[in-house]
């Protein structure tokens, strides 16, 4: 019972304050309709760009442009939204010009930045919600449909050109970097090669490659020195002096022949040892030439001694023989000292030489690695030049829009209607709260805090009934006029009613077909 009384109360409030509900709702609805149809039309044109992956497998040839696709799109968007770029497009198509007057450059830039929209198209790769960008939409809003499509296609052309230019520049910069690195390494290699050559030339006799040869020479020199010392002792003995004094020329010549033969054999043996080292470049050619000259001279000496031995009556001076042996010993002693010094210096030279060789080997390895990277960079650059790497392709060109995208008049009118109704209800509720009149038995009971014995209902007169009927007729007429005006506005300002009915029937038909 209490609920029925409350419902009757609310109904009475609406009945009593209906004008305060209807009039604000109608006024706001009319204003909303006027605004919806007075707002300028804005058309939206959209183009779709697809990101195609590299055509050649990356295992065979890889591009040097490895930046993230999202990053490149953002960079291109920032360049596209640059002030100079937007002003250039606006001047080319004479945008935002009204009656020959153009807004300021700052206003043009702000309008174009608000009218351009770039939306990425991404797909989910796996259950972890990793996404990959496969393309993006480029949209532009403007008041004239043909100009909207033209500007959108201009933006698409600019994006494609910027993408190609960016990728080519990055590939070229990578190739130039490795070319500079390779040039620097070549210079360092040449300098290190020069240092190696100078070191080998300055330490030719102390290089570790000839250590075994010098040890053989030292052994031979020590043997020769021992032989000469023995001959000196024999020459200094009394028996040798008597024999020479007696004119035994044949014995002296035999001794000389033996000594020269030993020298010749030593030179030939040394020549055989150094010959393989010459082929490998460890021994200078000049040393072999000196050995050949010494061998030739020794052969001449052997032939001369043999010729002297064939002569009769030849005699040699013992003092001269003694002097020759002493000179030979001095030469051999000096040779032994030189070889010992050279062998002692070899470890130090070997350390310095090994350091130079390591430096050269490291530079050579770095040079080969840089050369390989340069080849990869040049391959990547050719991929970009031939457009075989990742690229942007236009999937859908921007077309001339047939209907405006803004304003969305239906939504605006619906929002205005519901908003006006809400305002009217709120106004009626506010007036009811401010009114302290006693209208029901409940109001009287709350005011006096006394329960009435009986309630006498209100008796409506005939005049009041006629007045109420007139109000209802006027309200119905007002609603009919508002509906008629709304229908005319939709027909003449938005879309003819026959076309609107046809579209509605098509939508209903499609939904019914889908349900079946």
Concatenating the DSSP letter of every residue in 303-350 gives: HHHHHHHHSSS----HHHHHHHHHHHHHHHHHHHHHHHHHHHHHHHHH
Distance in angstroms (rounded) separating the CA atoms of residues 395 and 398: 10
Same domain, 74 and 166: yes
Residues 61 and 136 placed together within one structural domain of the fold:
yes
Residues 484 and 90: their CA atoms lie apart, in Å, by 43
Query: What is the per-residue pLDDT across 200-234, written as a single tens digit (0 to 9) for each?
Result: 888 877 777 777 887 887 887 788 778 777 777 77
Are residues 242 and 156 located together in one domain of the fold?
A: no
Helix (H) or strand (E) holding 400: none
CB 208 within 8 A of CB 355: no
360 and 453 in a single domain? The answer is no
Per-residue model confidence (pLDDT) at position 2: 43
Rounding to the nearest 10 degrees, give the CA dihedral for residues 505, 507, 510, 515: -100
Which segments of 425-508 are extended strands (E)?
Answer: none
Domain finish residue from 369, 396, 423: 396
Percent with pLDDT over 70 in the chain: 76
**Cβ neighbours around 372 below 10 Å, total:** 11
- Domain count of the fold of the chain: 4
What's the confidence (pLDDT) of residue 173?
Answer: 85
In contact, 25 and 344? CB cutoff 8 Å: no
Integer angstrom CA distances of residue 76 from 80, 87, 91, 140, 357: 6, 17, 21, 16, 50
Is 302 contained in some domain?
Answer: yes
Maximum average pLDDT range among 74-83, 286-295, 383-392, 447-456: 74-83
**Domain contains 342:** yes
Distance CA 28, CA 36 (A): 12
User: For the CA atoms of the chain, what is the radius of gyration?
Assistant: 57
Q: CA neighbours within 13 Å on the CB side: how many for 3? A: 0
Is it the case that residue 64 has pLDDT exceeding 70? no
16 with 59, same domain: the answer is no
Segment 104-111 shows an average pLDDT of 88
Q: How far is CA 43 from CA 67, 226, 269, 389, 492, in A?
A: 35, 114, 102, 36, 19
C-alpha span between 148 and 142 (Å, rounded): 5
Place of tokens 């350390």: 351
Q: How confident is the model at residue 159 (pLDDT cuts 50, 70, 90)?
A: confident
Q: Which of 32-36, 83-87, 209-213 has the lowest mean pLDDT?
A: 32-36
In this structure, are 279 and 328 located in the same domain? yes
Q: Which long-range contacts (CB under 8 A, 24 or more apart) does 412-418 make?
A: 412/32, 412/35, 412/36, 412/39, 413/29, 413/32, 413/33, 413/36, 413/486, 415/32, 416/28, 416/29, 416/31, 416/32, 416/33, 416/35, 416/36, 417/25, 417/28, 417/29, 417/32
How confident is the model at residue 362, as a pLDDT?
Answer: 92
Residues 6+ positions from 341 with CB-CB distance below 8 Å: none
Local confidence band at 97 (pLDDT 50, 70, 90 cut-offs):
confident
Q: State the pairing for strand pair 131-142/391-396.
A: unpaired
- 468-482 per-position pLDDT tens digit: 788 778 877 877 787
Segment 279-283 long-range contacts (CB within 8 Å, at least 24 positions apart):
280/209, 282/207, 282/209, 282/210, 283/209, 283/210, 283/213
301 found inside a domain = yes
Q: Long-range contacts of range 441-449, CB-CB < 8 Å, 24 or more positions apart?
A: 442/5, 442/9
Which range has the top average pLDDT, 74-78, 232-236, 318-322, 386-390?
A: 74-78
**45 phi and psi angles, rounded to 5 deg:** -120, 135
Residue 313 has pLDDT above 50, yes or no: no
Q: Are residues 62 and 153 located together in one domain of the fold? A: yes
> Taking 60 as the threshold, does the pLDDT of residue 108 lie above it?
yes
Give the whole-angstrom CA distance, residue 323 versus residue 231: 12
- Which residues are registered as beta bridge partners of 376? none
Cβ atoms of 30 and 482 within 8 Å: the answer is: yes
Which whole number is the average pLDDT over 235-245?
A: 52
Q: Is 265 domain-assigned?
A: yes
Q: Quick check: bond before 407 cis, omega within 30?
A: yes
pLDDT at 129: 59
Cα 455 → chain centroid: 89
pLDDT of residue 241: 47
For residue 5, pLDDT over 60 is answered with: no
Over residues 255-286, the pLDDT tens digits come to 777 777 888 888 888 778 777 777 776 677 77
Sheet containing strand 43-52, edge to edge, reads 116-124, 131-142, 43-52, 391-396
Give me the residue label for tokens 């690229």: 391
Q: Are residues 513 and 446 in the same domain?
A: no
Distance CA 353, CA 255 (A): 45
Same-domain pairing of 250 and 159: no
Cβ burial, residue 416 (10 Å; 0-12/13-18/19+): buried
Residue 486 lies inside a defined structural domain of this protein: yes
280's tokens: 């490998």
Query: Residue 352 corresponds to which tokens in the numbers above?
Result: 């310095």
Tell me what pLDDT residue 135 has: 83
Two tokens at 158? Answer: 């600019």
What is the spatial distance between Cα 417 and Cα 8, in angstroms, rounded to a whole number?
26
pLDDT band for position 365 (cuts 50, 70, 90): very high
Determine, yes or no, domain membership for 405: no
Tell me if 188 is assigned to some domain: no
Indicate the residue among 396, 430, 446 that finishes a domain.
396
The CATH number given to whatever domain includes residue 64 is 3.30.70.1130
- Tell me, yes or no, whether 329 and 378 share the same domain: yes
CA distance 300 to 260: 10
Buried b (16+ CB within 10 A) or exposed e, 205-216: bbbeebbebbee
Domain that holds residue 85: 43-178+389-396
Q: Kindly state whether residues 373 and 229 are assigned to the same domain.
A: yes
Based on the domain organization, do 15 and 71 belong to the same domain?
no
| 282 is a domain residue | yes
pLDDT, one tens digit per residue, over 391-424 is 788 888 888 888 777 777 777 778 877 887 788 7
Residues in a beta bridge with 52: 391
Q: Sorting pLDDT into bands at 50, 70 and 90, what band is 315?
A: very low
Q: Give mean pLDDT, residues 14-23.
A: 72
In this structure, the strands spanning 131-142 and 43-52 are antiparallel
């Amino acid at each position: 019972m209490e609920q029925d009384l409350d419902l009757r109360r609310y109904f009475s409030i609406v009945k009593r304050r209906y004008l305060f509900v209807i009039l604000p709702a109608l006024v706001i609805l009319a204003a909303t309709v006027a605004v919806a149809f007075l707002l300028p039309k804005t058309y939206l044109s959209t183009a779709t760009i697809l990101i195609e992956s590299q055509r050649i497998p990356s295992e065979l040839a890889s591009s040097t442009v490895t930046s993230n696709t999202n990053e490149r799109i953002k960079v291109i968007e920032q360049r596209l939204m640059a002030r100079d770029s937007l002003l250039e497009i606006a001047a080319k198509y004479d945008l935002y010009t009204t009656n020959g007057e153009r807004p300021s450059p700052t206003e043009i830039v702000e309008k174009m930045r608000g009218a351009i929209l770039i939306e990425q198209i991404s797909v989910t790769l796996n259950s972890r919600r990793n996404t990959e960008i496969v393309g993006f939409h480029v949209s532009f809003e403007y008041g004239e449909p043909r100009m909207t499509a033209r500007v959108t296609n201009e933006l698409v052309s600019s994006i494609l050109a910027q993408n190609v230019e960016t990728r080519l520049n990055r590939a070229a910069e990578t190739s130039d970097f490795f070319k500079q690195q390779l040039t620097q390494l070549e210079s360092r290699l040449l300098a290190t090669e020069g240092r190696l050559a100078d070191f080998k030339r300055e330490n030719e006799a102390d290089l570790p490659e000839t250590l075994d040869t010098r040890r053989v020479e030292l052994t031979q020199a020590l043997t020769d020195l021992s032989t000469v010392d023995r001959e000196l002792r024999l020459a200094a003995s009394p028996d040798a002096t008597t024999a020479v004094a007696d004119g035994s020329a044949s014995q002296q010549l035999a001794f000389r022949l033996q000594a020269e033969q030993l020298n010749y054999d030593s030179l030939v043996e040394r020549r055989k040892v150094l010959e393989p080292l010459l082929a490998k470049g460890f021994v200078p050619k000049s040393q072999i030439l000196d050995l050949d000259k010494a061998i030739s001279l020794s052969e001449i000496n052997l032939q001369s001694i043999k010729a002297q031995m064939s002569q009769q009556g030849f005699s040699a001076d013992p003092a001269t023989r003694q002097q020759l042996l002493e000179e030979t010993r001095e030469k051999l002693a000096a040779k032994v000292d030189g070889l010992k010094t050279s062998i002692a210096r070899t470890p130090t030279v070997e350390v310095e030489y090994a350091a130079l060789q390591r430096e050269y080997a490291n530079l050579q390895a770095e040079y080969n690695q840089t050369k390989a990277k340069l080849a990869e960079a040049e391959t990547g650059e050719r991929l970009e030049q031939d457009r075989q790497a990742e690229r942007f392709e236009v999937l859908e060109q921007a077309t001339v829009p047939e209907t405006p995208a803004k304003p969305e008049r239906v939504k605006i009118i619906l929002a205005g209607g519901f908003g006006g109704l809400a305002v009217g209800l709120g106004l009626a509720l506010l007036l009811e709260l401010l009114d302290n009149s006693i209208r029901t038995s409940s109001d009287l009971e709350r005011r006096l805090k006394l329960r009435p014995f009986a309630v006498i209902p209100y008796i409506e007169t005939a005049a009041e009934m006629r007045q109420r009927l007139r109000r209802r007729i006027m309200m119905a007429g007002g609603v009919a006029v508002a509906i008629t005006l709304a229908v005319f506005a939709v027909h003449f300002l938005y879309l003819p009613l026959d076309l609107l009915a046809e579209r509605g029937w098509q939508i209903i038909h499609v939904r019914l077909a889908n349900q079946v």
